[in-house]
Amino acid sequence: MPRQNDPAQDKGGSWLFSRAGIAALVAVPILGFLIFTGHGLHLLGWAPFLLILACPLMHFFMHGGHGGHRHSQEEK
């Protein structure tokens, strides 16, 4: 017989508002801040390379929005 407070049997509610979810919402920003303050200069050193990498990635993924370079006879 399952216990009354068994989390495996809890069908309602969201994971975000469980104990683990609230702990993650508190821990992730704190850890992010500590990592950025300790290693921020290392991360900022990679920023120019990430901008250069973003250009071909955006070009590759954003051409699908207008159908690429195919032109049909109806457009003429």
More confident residue, 29 or 65: 29
Give the global pTM.
0.43
More confident residue, 76 or 13: 13
Positive or negative CA dihedral for 17, 18, 22, 27?
Answer: negative
The model's pLDDT over 4-56, given as tens digits with 9 standing for 90+, comes to 665 555 566 788 889 999 999 999 999 999 988 998 888 888 889 989 999 88
pLDDT score, position 60: 83
CA distance 32 to 24: 12
